[in-house]
Amino acid sequence: MNNKLYVGNVSYQVNESSLEQTFSSFGKVKSVKIITDRETGRTKGFAFVEMESDEDAQNCITNLDGKELDGRPLRVNIAQDKKDTKSNGRW
């Protein structure tokens, strides 16, 4: 298993500190990164949270997937490896 989590449907008002606080209730958080638009700096509505262990990651999925944070139900699951982006979707 992987200890890096994808967190979707994140409210635009949530910051990395509040997300870390939410996840730390269910395990030790290693890092939090809210993804933002390069041009506007506005959040894209998702984040990645890395937990200390696989057990902590699974505990977060169990307890936080579908739970509401700032009015939006979070989607929490194991992050997938980034696909090869060299071609930018072109053949």
- 7, 69 contact by CB (below 8 A): no
Task: Report pTM.
Answer: 0.86
pLDDT attached to residue 86:
56
Contact assessment for residue 65 and residue 74, using Cβ atoms and an 8 Å cutoff: yes
Q: How many CA atoms lie within 13 Å of 80's alpha carbon, on the beta-carbon side?
A: 4
pLDDT, residue 22, reads 97
Q: What is the mean pLDDT of each run of 10 residues along the chain (91 residues)?
A: 92 95 98 96 96 97 97 96 60 48
Whole-number pLDDT of residue 10: 97
Domain ranges of the chain: 4-78
Q: Other CB atoms closer than 10 Å to residue 88's CB: what's the count? A: 5
Closest CA to 43 of 7, 67, 5, 71: 7
Check if the beta carbon of residue 11 is closer than 8 Å to that of residue 71. Answer: yes
CATH of domain 4-78: 3.30.70.330
